[in-house]
Structure 1
């Protein structure tokens, strides 16, 4: 992969994290998404995450995108 493509990919990922991240426990507290549902969403690729040791960190923008997609489609994924 050319260096410019790698740089663009990293920049896109950094942009996703610009608003910070939340833990799985934070998803329940802030958004009402249960622990089991959070792991389902992460495992099926619906919700982006990063790991820091054993902890999973979910970008707030990824959560917002997921929630917005349910508004547009009228379906419940959470």
Structure 2
């Protein structure tokens, strides 16, 4: 999960450099306080997605058949 989070940023939105350039253009349009709110919302979404992924993995593990003896 931490690996996914560290991959992060504009790369998650689309294809490489074009997504990064799009994000940088948006940053120039935002005021300081608005940028901090945007960052907080993005972080909250990432936390929710991480929680959902962990729950899905736990569910898959719980539903896996027991190994034969």
TM-score by length of 2: 0.28
Of Structure 1 and Structure 2, the greater strand share is in 1
Q: Which has the higher helix share?
A: 2
The two structures have a TM-score, normalised by structure 1, of 0.26
